[in-house]
Structure 1
Amino acid sequence: MRKFLICTVTLGLIASCTVEDMDDNVSIQNSDKENFEIFNSLDGAMDSFDIISEKAFEDVQSSSKSFQESCVSVELLVSNQENPLPGFEEYDYYSKMILNYTEEQCQFDDWTGKLEYYVAGVFNQKWKDSTIFKNVRGNDGHMFDGYRVAEQNEALSTETIKVFDVVIDGVITEPNGNSYRYTANRNFAFENRFTSEEVITLQESSSVEGITEAFFMKSESVDGAPLVYKVACFNRYNFLKYPVQGSLDFSSSFGINFNIDFGDGACDKEVILTGDNGESIVFDL
């Protein structure tokens, strides 16, 4: 319970004050929900930038030779010995694609900006890709300036389940101009990848730190309860917006701490938010 000082002033300018108790459960829950929605919108925007990386890989994979034009440059099998790429020391060759959609004649359907994409080990189970975003603005209005690196975890991958470790670091800006430093360490497991039965299991640790406003929040996967996404639940790509299972703990520098439970695997958008006080609210993503 919060204490509120309630004062009344009579015509004779004599103040009379009393202390009254007011239930603050609702205000705490609303504050939790608002901060979760900020975090979730930024996390969703990063999923959109991941899709840009995936499309870039598809373009590289479909290329049969090197080519260059005003907006796109592709080089296949670049010698790492002749042109060393930091972080790719264990690879003899890599491929790269530069997408420069900053000029008027180079507009793309989903985004604008400049993207440098590098990939190696595609066919030998040692996959690694690196994407550098330079003021890339998605069609939802968010902008990202930073990098994303993904590497296949050979020790955990099997013939049917591919596991990738992902690191993200950069500045993401909302359409309203608010900017945040976004960092994340993710571990993805893909089962039945690129099929209608695809299931993604995700464990992650992420943080968002305000640049244009005071804001700092961290999220951490709950042990034994990774996030689960199912293609069968929602349309392709949209499924990345709605985990259907798993749990995340949130903490912040301003005393807001809560848990989000995404459910038991059923195909819905319902989540349960539980605050430090043990009170819970249910809402849809």
Structure 2
Amino acid sequence: MKKLLICIAGLGLMVSCAVEDMDDTVSIQNSDKENFEMYHSLDGAMDSFDLISESAFNEVQSSSRNSKSSCVSIELLVSNEEASLPGFEGYDYYSKMILDYREEQCQFDDWSGKLEYYVAGVFNEQWKDSTVFKNVRGHEGYTFDGYRVAEQNSTLSTETTKVFDVVIDGVITEPNGDSYRYTTNRNFTFENRFSADEVVILEESSLVEGITQTYFMKSESVENEPLVYKVACFNRLNFLRYPVQGSLDFTSSFGVNFNIDFGDGACDREVTLTGDNGESIVFDL
């Protein structure tokens, strides 16, 4: 134990300082934990926006004809030759849905904004979808401007297990006004998809960069330890927020480097944070 000048860090910025008797290891770990929890909250917000894309896909898939209302417009089988869509050059047709939920009467499931959703190749095993978010606000107050593209990996996919390469790039703004550039590359494998036994296995590399303040943090899946999500562990809307297995390494621009281990597959929210010094703390998400 020794006297230290302890500065409580919020998103990499010094907020308040005090001289206290503290253990060096505990101080470092608590700082790591705070930064991980901030990162996890942004990642969780992005998962919520992912679910909006999934809902849009279900709407297009279940639609049998073109339709238009004050809030939603669906066009099926648009000719790419007549209305070319960047990134969809390999497809003859695509379908699109425009959701304009900026007006109060159009708000849906506690989110608002404008979303442009495009999907092609659903029935020929060459699935690709693209979602453009325009100031979309989620139910927890986060907003996202950017895009998400998912493309089926035909080399890795089988009839029973589909693998998708996902790229996300955009700006997330917290309820307090702080903004971050969020980019990620994800590789998803699905087992028993859209069922009560669904399992999602994820390998990813993500980056959060501060826009309104200096901040930089990157996470990357540990080799051979992808994140595992189980629908059976949590309800349908929340299961993507709580991995039950896998490991991520975190690095930053301000000396925060640590590992997060999500466990052995048991249905809990317990994680283990291990710092550069080898010391660990255990806490719940």
Please say which structure displays the higher CA radius of gyration: 1
| Paired residue secondary structure (1:40) | helix
Matching residue of 2:49 = 49
The Cα shift of 1:4 comes to 4.9
Question: Map of 1:31-46 to 2, 5 A cutoff?
Answer: 31-46=31-46
Task: Say if 1:210 and 1:260 are closer, same or farther in 2 by CA, change over 3 A.
Answer: same
Deviations 1:182-233 (A, max 9, x none): 0000000001101111111000000000111211000000001000001111
Q: Structure 2: which amino acid aligns with 1:258? A: F
Question: Map of 1:84-123 to 2, 5 A cutoff?
Answer: 84-123=84-123
Q: Number of residues paired by the alignment?
A: 271
Deviations 1:237-257 (A, max 9, x none): 211111000000000001100
The Cα shift of 1:3 comes to 7.5
Q: Structure 2 regions of 5+ residues with no counterpart?
A: 6-20
Matching residue of 2:154 = 154
| Paired residue secondary structure (1:55) | helix
Q: Structure 1: which amino acid aligns with 2:46? A: M
Inter-partner Cα distance in structure 2 for 1:153 and 1:4 = 52
| Paired residue secondary structure (2:55) | helix
Deviations 1:153-207 (A, max 9, x none): 0100111111000000000011111110000000000011011111110000000
Task: Say if 1:268 and 1:100 are closer, same or farther in 2 by CA, change over 3 A.
Answer: same
The Cα shift of 1:109 comes to 2.4
Matching residue of 2:145 = 145
TM-score w.r.t. length of structure 2:
0.92
Q: Structure 2: which amino acid aligns with 1:193? A: R
Structure 1 runs, 4 residues or longer, greater than 4 Å off: 1-5
The Cα shift of 1:90 comes to 0.3
Inter-partner Cα distance in structure 2 for 1:232 and 1:23 = 40
Q: Structure 2: which amino acid aligns with 1:105? A: Q
Inter-partner Cα distance in structure 2 for 1:161 and 1:4 = 53
- More off after superposition, 54-63 vs 249-258: 54-63
Q: Structure 1: which amino acid aligns with 2:157? A: S
Task: Say if 1:67 and 1:22 are closer, same or farther in 2 by CA, change over 3 A.
Answer: closer
The Cα shift of 1:22 comes to 6.0
Q: Structure 2: which amino acid aligns with 1:147? A: Y
Deviations 1:125-180 (A, max 9, x none): 10000000000001111100000000000100111111000000000011111110
Question: Map of 1:61-80 to 2, 5 A cutoff?
Answer: 61-80=61-80
Tell me whether 1:27 sits opposite 2:27 in the alignment: yes
Matching residue of 1:126 = 126
Matching residue of 1:186 = 186
Task: Say if 1:42 and 1:22 are closer, same or farther in 2 by CA, change over 3 A.
Answer: closer
Q: Structure 2: which amino acid aligns with 1:224? A: N
Question: Map of 1:1-20 to 2, 5 A cutoff?
Answer: 4=4
Matching residue of 1:227 = 227
Q: Structure 1 regions of 5+ residues with no counterpart?
A: 6-20
Deviations 1:255-284 (A, max 9, x none): 100000000111111000000111100000
Inter-partner Cα distance in structure 2 for 1:71 and 1:264 = 44
Inter-partner Cα distance in structure 1 for 2:4 and 2:71 = 61
Matching residue of 1:206 = 206
TM-score w.r.t. length of structure 1:
0.92
| Paired residue secondary structure (1:246) | strand
Inter-partner Cα distance in structure 2 for 1:167 and 1:22 = 42
Matching residue of 1:249 = 249
Q: Aligned-pair RMSD on alpha carbons? A: 1.6
The Cα shift of 1:2 comes to 7.7
